[in-house]
């Protein structure tokens, strides 16, 4: 079931306070009497709160989380175009979209806003928090910021902070968007958005989500019968076209810059010292062919988490595995 709740006011880590803040989320199953049978699923960059669209085998009687036993919830992150506070949200003070005036949210901002919803639902404990990529960033922050609430964690394909490599990928995608003549410093006409720039950013992202081996296996040097050009070009073109019809450029810029802020370090502590503060049972999952979040990042997490084990998938499809 999908929901939208309004939070009266919310203050970002930056100190900026916004009012009448919407939060979109979806739920499955029922809370038990103790309100502690909760599975918190955290979505990735371009995902939404409807798990059934992107992880359909995760929930249900044959899935990892049986709804006969668990209450599953997924909350849409700040900056996403799918219902939670974002550049598309109407500013109640002006009557216009926030647009380019939207404040940059951190990963902590998203989970702190989501905590307001868990409090409204009177959830006493999250049995397990699970997520991949941007979702994994949220999982780690949940464990650190709300240790008494979160019992177990499953961070997938993520590191303790966004690397220079990932920040570089973000910057190239950002430059693709801002180079579009319709970008207009983020103050573009909603009827004429910077689709070409956003589409190029998506094409760049799709390359980083896969591996050379996966692309060779899937496309090789095959020629597309319609375009009479390489099949891989047709694939990237399709990804571009389908993405720009469902996403917003300001939202995408907000989200990739939010991911760049990912750094779980607590004030005055090193990364290792911070990781050792995460005492929950942890299952860390990594993928050998992931070029965005290489397997050494998950090994580093697991080696320093006090109560963890690691599962490494030797899968050829990169980050998308």
Structure token pair of residue 46: 């371009």
3-state secondary structure (DSSP) of residue 8: strand
Under 8 Å between Cβ of 313 and 295: no
C-alpha–C-alpha distance, residues 148 and 150, integer Å: 6
Looking from the CA of 234 toward its CB, the CA atoms found within 13 Å total 14
Identified catalytic residue from 86, 290, 302, 320 = 290
Ramachandran area for residue 286 (φ above 0: left; ψ -120 to 50: alpha; else beta): beta
Strand runs labelled E in the chain: 2-11, 17-28, 38-42, 71-75, 126-132, 152-156, 281-287, 308-313
Pairing of strands 2-11, 38-42: unpaired
Nearest to 261 by CA among 131, 129, 79: 79
DSSP-derived secondary structure letter, 66 = -
321 among known catalytic residues: no
Asked if 290 is an active-site residue, the reply is: yes
- CA nearest 312: which of 293, 284, 292, 291? 284
Cβ–Cβ under 8 Å, residues 143 and 131: no
Q: Report the DSSP pairing between strands 17-28 and 2-11.
A: antiparallel
- Compute the half-sphere exposure of residue 110: CA atoms within 13 Å on the CB side of its CA: 34
Q: How far apart are CA 111 and CA 212, in angstroms?
A: 34
Q: Say which of 44, 133, 308, 321 is annotated catalytic.
A: 133
Residue count of the chain: 321
Q: Among 43, 162, 317, 319, which one carries the catalytic annotation?
A: 319
190 is catalytic: no
| Catalytic positions | 133, 290, 319
């Amino acid at each position: 079931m999908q929901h939208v709740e309004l939070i009266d006011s919310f203050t970002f880590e930056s100190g900026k306070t916004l009012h009448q803040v919407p939060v979109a989320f979806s739920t499955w199953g029922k809370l038990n009497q103790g309100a502690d049978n909760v599975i918190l699923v955290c979505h990735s960059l371009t995902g939404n709160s409807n798990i059934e669209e992107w992880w359909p085998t995760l929930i249900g009687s044959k899935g990892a989380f049986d709804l006969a036993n668990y209450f599953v919830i997924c909350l849409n992150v700040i900056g996403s175009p799918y219902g939670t506070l974002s550049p598309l949200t109407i500013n109640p003070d002006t009557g216009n979209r926030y647009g380019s005036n939207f404040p940059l949210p951190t990963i902590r901002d998203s989970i702190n806003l989501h905590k307001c919803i868990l409090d409204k639902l009177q959830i006493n404990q999250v049995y397990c928090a699970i997520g991949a990529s941007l979702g994994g960033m949220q999982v780690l922050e949940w464990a650190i910021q709300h240790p008494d609430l979160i019992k177990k964690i499953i961070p997938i394909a993520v590191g303790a902070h966004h690397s220079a490599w990932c920040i570089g990928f973000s910057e190239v995608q950002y430059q693709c968007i801002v180079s579009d003549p319709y970008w207009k410093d983020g103050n573009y006409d909603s009827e004429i958005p910077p689709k070409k720039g956003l589409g190029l950013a998506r094409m760049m992202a799709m390359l980083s989500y896969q591996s050379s081996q996966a692309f060779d296996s899937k496309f090789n040097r095959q020629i597309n019968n319609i375009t009479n050009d390489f099949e891989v070009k047709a694939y990237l073109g399709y990804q571009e076209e389908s993405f720009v019809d469902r996403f917003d450029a300001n939202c995408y810029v907000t989200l990739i810059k939010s991911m760049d802020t990912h750094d779980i370090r607590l004030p005055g502590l090193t990364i290792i010292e911070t990781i050792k503060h995460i005492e929950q049972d942890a299952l860390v999952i990594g993928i050998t062919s992931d070029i965005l979040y290489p397997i050494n990042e998950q090994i580093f997490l697991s080696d320093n988490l006090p109560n963890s084990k690691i599962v490494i998938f030797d899968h050829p499809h990169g980050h998308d595995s």
